[in-house]
């Protein structure tokens, strides 16, 4: 027992004494040089087109027919980025999750097939219909609205009667995620009956069944992945069969049978995707850290936050604990220096240089975040720290104009969605 405790103590000491720091890799060194040359003076979101193209190629190889891809706009809230993907994939299908962004996309993408990705409150539907009156009835007809229960369907019907419009409606299915949606075929029958009896105000447009829980099953329980996938497909097929067999007037080959997502699309090969006829993808194209999953190992990160170093101190100095200044460096070389960066506390993890960390004693900051690291990082004032966003949907909206790079060279700037609507 004593030997075991001694070995544990030695392990802890070696861990703390190990210098984790290193300078930027060649990729980030070149990127830093280009950002400095470009005159970047504050935190910017960087999109790497080479990595984006790599991910597009992976998707294209998997799908074969990429017109079956529905681009998830919330995960890629940038018009030029969506247009880039539409051209590369030859698809006009979009999935939208936010009413103000829906209005912008109806105007920007006049030929897009738009599927709403979550049930909108009735007020959001009303606002969109009233805005669309100023454009054209055709704008409303391009949208498939998502309904998750009979009560919402009744709300939508009442508004459709008031506005004298016909709403395309898709039904949200719960196929294992348990975040709402229809769970039982009996519930679906009630909804389909109401839709079929009011073709003046409703047009049935299909299903959405999202199953990201499969991609999140950890290695420890990886044996549950395939049963969960099979279960999701079986449940989805049961709902499809209700329409085919009991409501044949609602069935047609153009229905949207949407499933999958960035986390799971590779679980459905091109020749075995039944009952889906399209899969939704967004984050897989840029791969934030939340998507570092077994199902996306062949995808590359394509977005980074780049922020300048404002101050470099040769010590870690905690307020009211100044007497311990020398202790931190003696404890570990990874607390030898303090780096204060421009901004901070984003939904992101430190990427380069290696060996930097936040300090729990000093605390977090969105103004001047403190990072600690060793002398081996080689960072100086006006150098850059690079972070990988944990997600794309919120982070891409925080920086306004996105810097677009190819071969570590800045080749343009793209605008994120307007949040002032």
Residue that has been written with the tokens 């794309």 in this structure: 392
The residue length of the chain stands at 421
Helix (H) / strand (E) containing 311: strand 303-313
Quote the pTM value.
0.92
- 330 pLDDT band, cuts 50/70/90, is confident
Mean pLDDT of 37-51: 98
List all residues 6 or more positions away from 208 whose beta carbon is below 8 Å from its beta carbon.
115, 117, 146, 170, 171, 172, 173, 181, 256, 258, 259
**Which tens digits make up the pLDDT trace of 247-278?**
999 999 999 999 989 999 999 987 778 899 99
SS (H, E, C) 14-42: HHHHCCCCCCCCHHHHHHHHHHHHHCCCC
Q: For residue 58, is pLDDT > 50?
A: yes
pLDDT in tens, 338-393: 999 999 999 999 999 999 999 988 999 999 999 999 999 999 999 999 999 999 99
Nearest residue to 188 (alpha-carbon basis) of 254, 244, 127, 272: 244
* CA atoms 311, 313, 316, 321: torsion sign: negative
DSSP assignment letter at 128: H
Distance CA 255, CA 189 (A): 17
Contacts of 290 (CB under 8 A, 6+ apart): 283, 390, 391
Q: H or E stretch including 8?
A: helix 2-17
Judged against a pLDDT cut of 90, whether residue 2 lies above it is answered with no
CA 89 from chain centre, in angstroms, equals 18
| Whole-number average pLDDT of the chain | 92
Taking CA atoms, 331 is separated from 9, 19, 247, 334, in Å, by 14, 11, 71, 9
* pLDDT confidence tier of residue 4, bands split at 50, 70 and 90: very low
What token pair was written down for 96? 């939208």
What is the rounded distance in angstroms from the CA atom of residue 256 to the CA atom of residue 114? Answer: 11
* Contact (CB, 8 A) for 277 and 256: yes
Decide: 351 and 48 in contact? Cβ < 8 Å: no
Give the pLDDT confidence score for residue 10 in this predicted structure.
47
In 310-408, which residue ranges form alpha helices assigned H by DSSP? 325-331
pLDDT class for 419, splitting at 50, 70, 90? confident
Task: State pLDDT tens for residues 124-160.
Answer: 999 999 876 665 566 777 899 999 999 999 999 999 9
The domains of the chain, with CATH numbers, are 20-46+301-415 (2.40.37), 77-281 (3.20.20.10)
- For residue 31, count CB atoms less than 10 angstroms from its CB and return exposed for 0-12, middle for 13-18, buried for 19 or more: buried
Task: Give residue-wise pLDDT tens across range 277-294.
Answer: 999 999 999 999 999 999
Among the ranges given (37-51, 74-88, 127-141, 143-157), the one the predictor scored with the smallest mean pLDDT: 127-141
């Amino acid at each position: 027992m004593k030997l075991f405790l001694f070995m544990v103590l030695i392990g802890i000491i070696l861990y703390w004494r190990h210098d984790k720091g290193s300078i930027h890799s060649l990729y980030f060194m070149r990127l830093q040089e280009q950002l400095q040359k470009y005159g970047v003076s504050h935190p910017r979101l960087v999109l790497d087109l080479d990595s984006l193209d790599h991910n597009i190629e992976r998707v294209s190889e998997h799908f074969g027919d990429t017109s079956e891809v529905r681009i998830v706009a919330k995960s890629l809230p940038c018009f030029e980025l969506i247009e880039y993907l539409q051209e590369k994939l030859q698809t006009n299908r979009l999935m939208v999750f936010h009413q103000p962004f829906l209005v912008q996309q109806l105007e920007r993408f006049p030929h897009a097939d738009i599927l709403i990705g979550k049930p909108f409150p009735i007020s959001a539907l009303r606002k969109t219909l009233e805005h669309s009156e100023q454009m054209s009835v055709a704008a409303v007809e391009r949208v498939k609205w998502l309904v998750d229960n009979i009560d919402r369907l009744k709300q939508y019907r009442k508004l459709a009667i008031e506005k004298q419009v016909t709403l395309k409606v898709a039904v949200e299915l719960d196929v294992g995620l348990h975040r709402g949606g229809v769970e039982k075929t009996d519930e679906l029958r009630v909804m389909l009956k109401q839709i079929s009896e009011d073709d003046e105000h409703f047009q049935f447009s299909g299903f959405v069944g999202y199953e990201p829980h499969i991609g999140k099953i950890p290695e420890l329980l990886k044996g549950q992945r395939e049963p969960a996938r099979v279960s999701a497909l079986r449940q989805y097929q049961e709902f499809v069969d209700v329409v085919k067999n009991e409501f044949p007037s609602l069935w047609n080959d153009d229905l949207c049978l949407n499933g999958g997502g960035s986390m799971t699309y590779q679980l459905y090969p091109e020749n075995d995707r039944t009952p889906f006829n399209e899969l939704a993808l967004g984050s897989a194209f840029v791969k934030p850290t939340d998507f570092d999953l077994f199902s996306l190992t062949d995808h590359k990160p394509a977005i980074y936050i780049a922020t300048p170093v404002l101050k470099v101190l040769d010590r870690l100095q905690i307020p009211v604990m100044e007497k311990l200044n020398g202790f931190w460096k003696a404890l570990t070389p990874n607390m030898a220096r303090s780096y204060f960066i421009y901004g901070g506390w984003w939904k992101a993890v430190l990427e380069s240089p290696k060996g930097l960390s936040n300090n729990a004693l000093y605390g977090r900051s969105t103004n001047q975040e403190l990072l600690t690291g060793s002398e081996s990082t080689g960072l100086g004032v006006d150098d850059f720290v690079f972070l990988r966003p944990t997600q794309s949907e919120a982070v891409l909206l925080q920086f306004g104009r996105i810097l677009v790079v190819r071969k570590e060279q800045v080749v343009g700037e793209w605008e994120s969605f307007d949040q002032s609507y």
